[in-house]
Structure 1
Amino acid sequence: MAAGRTPDPPEIGVTVAGPGGATLPRVPSAASPSTAPQGTTRELLTLAGPLMLSNLAYTVVGFTDTLLMGRLGVVEVGAVGFAHLCLLTLVLLFRGSLNTAATFVARALGAGDEAGVRRWASVFLGCGLVGVPLALMGPWLLDGLFTLLRPDPSVTAVARTYLHIRVWEVPALLLGGAAISVMVGLGNTRTPMRLAWLVMGVNAALAVLFIFGFGWGVAGAAWASVIAVTLQNGLAVWLLGRLHGPRFGRFWPARPTRAELGSLGRVSLPAGVTELAEVSAFTVFQGVISRLGPTELAASQIANQLASLGFLPAFALSSATGSLLSRALGAGRADIAARIGWRGTGLAAAFMGVLGLLFLALPETLIGLFNRSPEVLALGTGVLAVMAAYQILDGVAIVLGGALGGAGDTRFRLIVTLVGAWLVMVLGATLLAPRYGVTGAWAAALVFIAFAAVAYALRFASGRWVRARL
């Protein structure tokens, strides 16, 4: 086998009964038994725990920016949140594709292929260099997005200032993102956690200094993020080599071969398009809300920041589930992979159910942390009520989507996203928002999340993801 090629799955041998009656293969493997995870709750939480703290740090960054913008005004709160979605839309095709480094690296690790680990890490670092031309084209692309979405003029003025600065963090964001994904595939989630808390502290200190000390306003918040993100991701690339180079060899950006490009096209590209489709749909969704007015957009943005608390365990468990599941498949243990997927899903549903209860019990208290305007409180309370209704379903969709991604079954996720996010959420919000306001728009999001949760659960129960090939 050539260096850098992830081994094809061996021929299917003995079968075992999986959840829901599906038949899952138990594949013989030449890999050492120690490379296969066991699929225990402790194992999942050990890997997911640092990722939860990483997500908490990123959520605190968003909270900090929203709180500071709240001191500047209602328009700034909504505009910066909307601008952040526009920036995600710009980078997500590439970032989502690069995040599959964890899948390829974990599969090679599970198979005991250290040369494959080194090669795939180098290939993804090479792909991460796409951030340089993307940053150069970014201002023009973002202006085109504003023209397409047509937000309120007051929102556009603030968001454009913010984004034309934030775009310069894109090269470091993508290259460092590839390095962090490789670490997750190797089971190292503590280093990304420490880097996340570093970026939180640097961003908060610089944001206060630039916004209020220097009087730069929204531009100050943007420059604080650029400096913090660049520092974080530069350290990620350096630490990948320092911590894991002694075992796997030198990690250096490499050009993929034709065969590797085929693998990236089958697995990584659909994953990137899925993230782009979902977040761009949400950007258009927020654009629909922005046309209702700055108050509606601010209420929606604050409620969404609160909902991001639920993403702490859900996305951490999604990453941990996908990584462990891919490693189990690499070791030839599809039965353990199925156990990992369902166990991660149950944990996420439990965590997010607790958050839904808080949304129902303390809506005005939570919204009031950001803004005490009576109009914002009233609208935000209605949005939180809708969000409370879908928290458990969202946990199911996030983790099972991550499990399917870890198996390489990324095209199914793309189909669900294109149908659900665009036809259900965006079209539904466009029809409901003019009549029922911001709460009606979020009701369309509720229907999309329910659709995705059911679709992913049926797909995972079928066991068809086992046959996905990297």
Structure 2
Amino acid sequence: MPPPPATSNSRLVWSIALPAMLTNVATALFGLADMWVIGRLGDASAQGAVELGAKFMLALLNTFNFLRTGTIALTAQAAGRGSEADRAQTLVRALGASFLIAALLLLAKPFAIAFGLDLLEAGDAVADEARTYIGIRYWAGVAWLVNAVLVGWLIGQRRVRTVLAVEVAANVVHIGLDVLFVLSFGWGVAGVAAATLVSEGLKFAVLALLVLRLPAARGLREAAVERATWQASRMRELFSLNRDLFFRTLLLSGAMLIFARSGAQQGAVVLAANGILFQLFMLATLALDGFENAAQVLVGEAQGARSRERFAAILKSTLAWGFGLGVVLALAYLVAGEAIARSFSTDEAVSNLAAEYVGWVVLLPLVGSFSFVLDGVFVGAAWTRAMLLTMLAAIAVYVGILWAGSPLTNTGLWIAFVTFFVVRAAAQFAVLPRLVRREFG
């Protein structure tokens, strides 16, 4: 099948990328709302505790983000083969994995929280508040794991607008609860965590109802008891894909934790300022991830259909549009980044430091756009082992810079963080031609 015209490719990419982008930005509002609301208290320790607690939960849960990305890839490949039964089986297997992981995380809860806080080396005041935050938000992790599967299954079938509607509704509830619990009830850090717990539970309820109404979900009961669902070959496909994604995400989460830990070692003001900037970076990242989602779905369909022409067309379109959005985001932060950063805290020392370092947030969308899009390409094509190896190379350089410059100033920390994304993209581009030849001949 010949590739469609470039205009068709762009329209197809944007039909998935735009609602995915808006969904991701809506997701980022969780963190932004938390930082803004707690910042109204003018307490650097409380704001630092939310930043540290959120980093801990982000690192812990994102380690299992393969539930979402793997489900997108396998569902899209099943759609490319035109198999509704495969889609139902994919959902059942992924849900089974999410329930198992949730049970293990709950068993590990007392040890995980203590270990995480020790690892991050938070000061006493920050650590006490962070422990409160994590202790409440940890329970939301169960719903988060199942939601990752449900969202991935919907996106893999191009139902991105449905996911967007759910995310927007959950965020409206979350922001309202943030204001109510923190500013009206005076619950402080505990109120921020409680808002997340309630909104994540709401999201689960709505997603489950929507999924059960889809035609492909009608075979879930049969798929759950069908022997073919649990065949060794199908389970190996799931676990080999998810194993590589697990370790890749573990490395990425480690990089984020190292970043937070290095900020915490420099005091509550640096920790809080870096937390504000990191939320702005995450907002840009989640916008760019719209094209990662588009690449996952469309490359997965091309791989399922064994079409090199479709693959090449989607690769070119997603990379071009991803970099274009990176430029737009960089310009937006160049113009308004300082004012935005200052608005997140009434503590003058925190807001001044955040404004001083906002230039790094301007740079990150430019250097990171390629690696974000290529992540989607590699996942959609099931090249997860190569993605893991390129992540290892980037982590090695990142840790090497941190070790060579120890003890680092905050500027050195940001230099290492930016270099991490540059190396990731360079390594992915280096291995891409060989992977294409191997897959499509």
Q: TM-score, normalised by structure 1?
A: 0.86
Match of 1:59 among 28, 32, 36: 28
Which deviates further from its counterpart, 90-99 or 57-66? 90-99
Amino acid corresponding to residue 428 of structure 1 in structure 2: I
Q: Structure 1's 465 and 158: CA in aligned 2 closer, same or farther, altered over 3 A?
A: farther
Conservation of the 8 A alpha-carbon contact between 1:103 and 1:185: yes
* Cα offset, 1:64, TM superposition: 0.9
Partner of 1:424: 397
Partner of 2:77: 107
Q: Counterpart of 2:405 in 1: which secondary structure?
A: helix
Q: Structure 1's 266 and 358: CA in aligned 2 closer, same or farther, altered over 3 A?
A: same
Corresponding position: 1:408 with 2:364: no
- Matched residues in 1 for 2:118 and 2:222: separation? 41
Match of 1:196 among 140, 161, 167: 167
Match of 1:444 among 407, 416, 419: 416
Match of 1:296 among 258, 267, 270: 270
Amino acid corresponding to residue 209 of structure 1 in structure 2: L
- Matched residues in 2 for 1:226 and 1:367: separation? 26
Corresponding position: 1:50 with 2:14: no
- Matched residues in 2 for 1:389 and 1:311: separation? 12
Segments of 5+ residues of structure 1 without an aligned counterpart are: 1-25, 28-32
Partner of 1:118: 88
- Matched residues in 2 for 1:71 and 1:232: separation? 27
Q: Counterpart of 1:315 in 2: which secondary structure?
A: helix
* Cα offset, 1:340, TM superposition: 0.7
Q: Structure 1's 299 and 226: CA in aligned 2 closer, same or farther, altered over 3 A?
A: same
Corresponding position: 1:68 with 2:4: no
* Cα offset, 1:114, TM superposition: 1.9
Deviation by residue 1:68-90 (Cα, 9 ceiling, x = unmatched): 11012222222212211211222
Partner of 2:304: 330
* Cα offset, 1:272, TM superposition: 1.8
Deviation by residue 1:187-234 (Cα, 9 ceiling, x = unmatched): 110111111111101111112222232221111111111010011023
Map of 1:32-181 to 2, 5 A cutoff? 40-72=9-41, 73-130=43-100, 131-181=102-152
* Cα offset, 1:433, TM superposition: 6.2
Amino acid corresponding to residue 78 of structure 2 in structure 1: A
Corresponding position: 1:283 with 2:283: no
* Cα offset, 1:357, TM superposition: 2.4
Query: RMSD across aligned C-alpha pairs, in angstroms?
Result: 2.5
Q: Structure 1's 296 and 127: CA in aligned 2 closer, same or farther, altered over 3 A?
A: same
Deviation by residue 1:7-30 (Cα, 9 ceiling, x = unmatched): xxxxxxxxxxxxxxxxxxx89xxx
Conservation of the 8 A alpha-carbon contact between 1:125 and 1:252: no
* Cα offset, 1:253, TM superposition: 5.5
Deviation by residue 1:220-278 (Cα, 9 ceiling, x = unmatched): 11111101001102321221121244776658767733222211232111112211210
Q: Counterpart of 1:292 in 2: which secondary structure?
A: coil
Amino acid corresponding to residue 99 of structure 2 in structure 1: L
Match of 1:259 among 228, 233, 242: 233
The percentage of counterpart residues that share the same residue type is: 26
- Matched residues in 2 for 1:418 and 1:97: separation? 21
Partner of 1:3: none
- Matched residues in 2 for 1:466 and 1:43: separation? 26
Q: Counterpart of 2:65 in 1: which secondary structure?
A: helix
Match of 1:184 among 139, 155, 159: 155
Q: Structure 1's 127 and 465: CA in aligned 2 closer, same or farther, altered over 3 A?
A: farther
* Cα offset, 1:431, TM superposition: 4.5
Conservation of the 8 A alpha-carbon contact between 1:390 and 1:450: no
* Cα offset, 1:294, TM superposition: 0.7
Match of 2:209 among 238, 258, 262: 238
Conservation of the 8 A alpha-carbon contact between 2:281 and 2:364: no
Corresponding position: 1:352 with 2:321: no
Conservation of the 8 A alpha-carbon contact between 2:174 and 2:199: yes
Deviation by residue 1:127-169 (Cα, 9 ceiling, x = unmatched): 1112133124223212112122322222211111100111111
Corresponding position: 1:371 with 2:371: no
Q: TM-score, normalised by structure 2?
A: 0.91
Partner of 1:388: 362
- Matched residues in 1 for 2:394 and 2:264: separation? 21
Q: Structure 1's 338 and 250: CA in aligned 2 closer, same or farther, altered over 3 A?
A: farther
Conservation of the 8 A alpha-carbon contact between 1:39 and 1:339: no
Conservation of the 8 A alpha-carbon contact between 1:166 and 1:225: yes
Q: Counterpart of 2:266 in 1: which secondary structure?
A: coil
* Cα offset, 1:92, TM superposition: 2.7
* Cα offset, 1:384, TM superposition: 2.1
Corresponding position: 1:398 with 2:367: no
- Matched residues in 1 for 2:183 and 2:136: separation? 18
Deviation by residue 1:104-132 (Cα, 9 ceiling, x = unmatched): 11111101122211211211111111213
Q: Counterpart of 2:230 in 1: which secondary structure?
A: coil
- Matched residues in 1 for 2:393 and 2:118: separation? 25
Partner of 2:431: 459
